[in-house]
Amino acid sequence: MNTIPITKFGAELLKAELHRLKHVERPAVINAISEARAQGDLSENAEYDAAKEKQGFIEGRIKELETTLSAAQIIDPATLEIEGRVVFGATVDLEDLEDGTKFTYQIVGDDEANIELNKISISSPIARALIGKEEGDVVAVQAPAGNREVEILAVRYI
């Protein structure tokens, strides 16, 4: 089985979701199925069908989370001592050389990527272009709008 890189923070989020699904959502849906079953005829019971569908989703998500966590290689960016090189877990400050826009991304695992939180997947084109580069390097990044050049202003491990 291949290992899946994930930050320490991302692993904690997945563990919390797994705990919530197992100890809150699963018992609630089992209770809802019991109540719907007590109403009699299941062939035309929409509440029963909805509860069974939700149960299927919950069980599938639990299995997915357990598989991910069992294969996870947890990396704590704060313990990395790589001196300015972009690696998994690093937070990178960038400047677009064309328009001067500055932005910051943290390179994380696929399961914890969230562009709204400036967390990009290790498998994204920008992360692949940045890995191994150092502060001060200019990197060509393939973006949906075409190739862009960005300069790495700072690399932090937080």
Asked whether the predicted pLDDT for residue 56 surpasses 90, the reply is yes
Q: Given this model, what pLDDT does residue 92 score?
A: 96
Mean pLDDT of the region 92-116: 93
**pLDDT for the residue 1:** 58
Q: What is the second-level CATH architecture of the domain 77-156? A: Roll (3.10)
Domain ranges of the chain: 4-75, 77-156
Q: Which residue, among 98, 152, 101, 103, has the nearest Cα to 130 in the 3D structure?
A: 152
CATH assignment, 4-75: 1.10.287.180
Under a CB-based contact definition with an 8 Å cutoff, are residues 122 and 5 in contact?
Answer: yes
- Report, as an integer, the average pLDDT of 49-57: 94
The 3-state secondary structure of 23-64, one letter per residue? HHHHHHHHHHHHHHHHCCCCCCCHHHHHHHHHHHHHHHHHHH
Mean pLDDT to the nearest integer, 113-139 = 94
How far apart CA 17 and CA 112 sit, in angstroms, is 12
Residue 40, pLDDT above cutoff 80: no
For the segment 2-18, the average pLDDT, to the nearest whole number, is 93
Is residue 42's pLDDT more than 80?
no
Average pLDDT, the chain: 91
